[in-house]
Structure 1
Amino acid sequence: MTRYLLGAAVALTLASPALAQRDAPVGARVDKLESEMRAVQRKVFPGGAGMMVEPQIAPSAPNPVEAAGVPASGAITDLSARVTSLEQQLASMTGQIEQGQYRLRQLEDQFAEYRKATDAKLAAPPAATPVQPVGGPDVTVPEAPEPAGDKSAANSANVTRPSTGDGAEDGYLYGFRLWEAKRYGDAVTALKKVVADYPKSRRASYAQNLIGRAYLDDGKPSLASIAFYDNYKKFPDGERAPDSLYYLGSALVKLDKAADACKVYGELVDVYGATISAKMKADVAKARVAAKCK
């Protein structure tokens, strides 16, 4: 019996260092995982005042005294359970963060592509010579009301420039008279000066729109589309912004870009549908039919 007890004591003495060695790596893993978990949660809950998700297990109850000769394993079991819980939570949180970042990158890429495509279609003139649309009637361009000028002067070769003391008004009326006299190049030059010199004037929207009209009437729909788009982009609250969207659609139809014209007509209704006149709404409806918009 004495020999047996002595042998058991020796066995327990030898087993204790072994248990300590098994304990050390698990404890290090726990410390490392808890540190990583806190770092992840600081990223997920910035300023969270110490917010911390605890492992989803409770420490196990003390094991009853085991039979002599069998090493106690309660501490190892508890640490292993903590490691497993921490690893699962860390993997879950890391996956959620990565998914959120991926979706954000997707949205940013889609929006960048949308802006790039829109600018390329509406702002850049085509490289090739514009082709007139094949099949289907062209969109009828309605005459938007413009302030009355000096008809006798506008119909003559010598267009006179008004001199009322209001530079923006005089410049616009002069460009309008040149346009009426079909001197489109001169009209564009005069109207561009109004936009450059008086961008805060209400006549800037009128002048930019009439620049597009002059290009359109002069058989230059690509330049007209740029002028109309610029008016909508620079002066969205201007009095001629809705007209510019309408004529932009007309210019795009002339460039054989009916699908883009339909998008522009949709934009016109969405943005200005509550404020445009009944006649404009009817003109847009006719233009959509002519462009075969869905």
Structure 2
Amino acid sequence: LNTDIRGQLEDLKKRTADLRKEVGELNGEVRSKVGYLEKEMETSSQPMRRHQADLGARVDKLQMDVQALMGRFEEGKYFAEKNFQETKVLRESHQTKLEDLDKRIGDMKKSLEAAERKPEVPGKEKEAEKESTPEKPSVETPSKPEVAKVPPAKIPEKPVTTAALSPDDAYKKAYDLYNKGSIPEAREEFKRFLEANPKSKFSENAHFWLGECYFSEKKYDEAILEFDEVIKKFPKGNKVPDALYRQGMAFLEMKDTMNAKLIFKEVVKRYPKSDQATRARKKLQELP
């Protein structure tokens, strides 16, 4: 019996040793496979981490771009609102001037119609012409501004601004720009001159040439309003016949034949012996 028990114990020990060996081998295999899997995961996760890092950088850049766009949008919105208000004020001012001009054109039409119906009184025509004919306006020697003769000198590094010039020199600067064909620059200089010198001896001419600048830029409505400033502010000035005639030409450019004809008739009526009246008569003959 003892022999059998010993045999069984030996057999059990052997089997236990075999099991331990198998378990050890299995543990080795498991550790090897776990190591392999960890290595594979590490290898496969590196591109993912790089992708995540790249994606994060792109998101940050997009956020910065959005913030910059929002800043530009707010800035654009501010200037758009500012320009809208300025344009609204300017439009209202122009509307008021246009309404006043329409009223005066209406009065002019009534006056011309009344004159056409009224029989002429002998002996009065020459007297009326004498009273209504001013001195013939010159082409443009605007009261000959006194310009100091400056000897040749080095050109200054900084251009002299209009604000630093005398009224005579400021007007001459604007007029010279107009003659050179620098119309936008001349327009701005005439505007600055009138803002700084509204009652200068050159104001009448400045308004007229500002109107000519607008005319050259095909801004005919603004030209009409500026010529009207000459007519209203300087009713006895030398530039009035020119301004009135140029108003007619501006209306003609705008295809407003009816008002153009009214203006030309007014030129002939008020200044019958002037060069402007001669040109106005020619235009009236050409128009239907």
For the superposition of Structure 1 and Structure 2, which TM-score range results when normalised by the shorter chain? 0.3 to 0.5
Larger radius of gyration: 2
TM-score by length of 2: 0.43
TM-score by length of 1: 0.43
Structure with the larger helix share: 2
